[in-house]
Amino acid sequence: MSDPGVLAPQPPGQPGWLRRELSNPLFRNAYALVANGGLTGLLGLAYWALGAKFYAPDDVGRNWAVIQAIMFVGSVTMLNFLLIRFIPQTARGTRALVLVCYGTGTAAAALLALAFLATLEVWGPSFQHLNEGKAAVWFLVMAVAWNLWNQQEGVFTGLRHAGWVPVVNAVFGATKLVMLVALAAAFPDDGVTLSWFVPVMVAIVPVSFLIFGRMIPAHSRENFGRGPRPTYGEIGRYVGGAYVGGAFQYASISLIPVVVAAHISETANAYFQMAWALGMMLDLLALTLSMSLTVEGSFERERLAESTRAALRRTLTLMTPVVVVVIVAAPFALEFFGHDYSEKGAPLLQILALAVLPKALIELYIGVLRVVNRTRLIALLQAVRFAGVLALILALFDSEHLATIGLIIVAVNVVVAAAILPGLLRAAKPKPSPASEGGISLEDGGSGHGG
């Protein structure tokens, strides 16, 4: 019988509430990632506000089109899903696992960046300046750096040190703000892009020393001899479906705005990208408990149902008020940005905020599926979400009505959330005693790797 005080919600007014919450690794990691999402959101809002003040809308639109392309190339090739799933089950092999993921991810990012640069004529006017040799080299280097930067976050989470994520990202966000203003006069055409990725390239070095010099050795010592270790075969079987699922997930975040940028003017893209970037910051909140659930489910598989129930409660408790605040405040907040950001971008941001609630349910279910190695189902869910959104945008999108994109995303995520809800509730259902169990359940991994 598990201790209900460990995972059951505790009223904040009760003595020792915060200590009990933070003593649970599931919540400690999750709250660290929620703090990261909050800090990222606030710094991102300030970043956008300064960008709107110091750069013309067409420059902002062009720069953000390039930033989204770099983020797509760097994110779709990273292997965070592998890091957060298997770091908890490795000890002496953790360093090798991380290095293999780093090497594979950066090589794939470089190849995909070259493929993007070779097809620039397909992507519209916002990307044509990348035909110049120096700009192309910068694009390649930034894509590789972004891949490493995001994989470092996966390492922190897998090592149960997600508390470092908001610290690192807070420094990164503050540095971006300073550079955004500092580069405005000297680099009005490319200052936004440079302010985003130069701090990334600099910060990778000290963060790598922290991970490889302190955290991985400590993890190896503390977990040596603890529990079964994953085999190469298990990791290999997991990679295929999990990578495809992760690729579709990041394509939904970063490739969709690249496709939109190819079909609208640079000025209109500034209004779209403003709302999209702020909406994706809300998505970070939806992902936090899913990632923490994967890590803790991998550490303690027998408590997966209990952790799922707790994660579901915390997700609804945290996300609902945030969504309400964004829907109410968006039109007033974006007025500060000037130009037509409020009129053009606020309706889209409000709808994207609403989409976060069904997305959160989907992400939690995917967190469960990662633990039980049902990677083919992960790939299917992410593919359906991405393909549905992309197909409807290409069919219905009108450049004069940016909010249409938000309505499409809400509709697709509601349909997918309704489809997975029974499975999520089964995963969260308290399990009977082993003697009374029969058949195959999701929690016992009976579906194996086939999904």
DSSP 234-254: HHHHHHHHHHHHHHHHHIIII
The pLDDT tens digits for 24-34 are: 555 555 566 56
- Confidence bin at 227 (pLDDT 50/70/90): low
The rounded distance, in Å, linking the Cα atoms of 333 and 371 is 40
Burial class (CB in 10 A: 0-12, 13-18, 19+), 77: buried
The rounded distance, in Å, linking the Cα atoms of 372 and 388 is 26
Residue boundaries of the structural domains of the chain: 21-430
The pLDDT tens digits for 228-284 are: 666 677 777 777 777 788 788 888 888 898 888 888 888 888 888 888 888 887 787
Instruction: List the one residue out of 257, 314, 247 whose CA is nearest residue 280.
Output: 257
CB 177 within 8 A of CB 49: no
- Amino acid found at 167: V
The pLDDT tens digits for 130-182 are: 988 899 999 999 999 999 999 998 898 888 776 777 788 788 888 999 999 99
401 phi/psi in degrees, rounded to 5: -130, 85
Averaged pLDDT of the chain: 81
The rounded distance, in Å, linking the Cα atoms of 302 and 31 is 23
Statement: residue 298 has pLDDT above 90: no
Report the sign of the C-alpha dihedral through residues 388, 381, 289, 43, in that order. Answer: negative
The rounded distance, in Å, linking the Cα atoms of 421 and 113 is 37
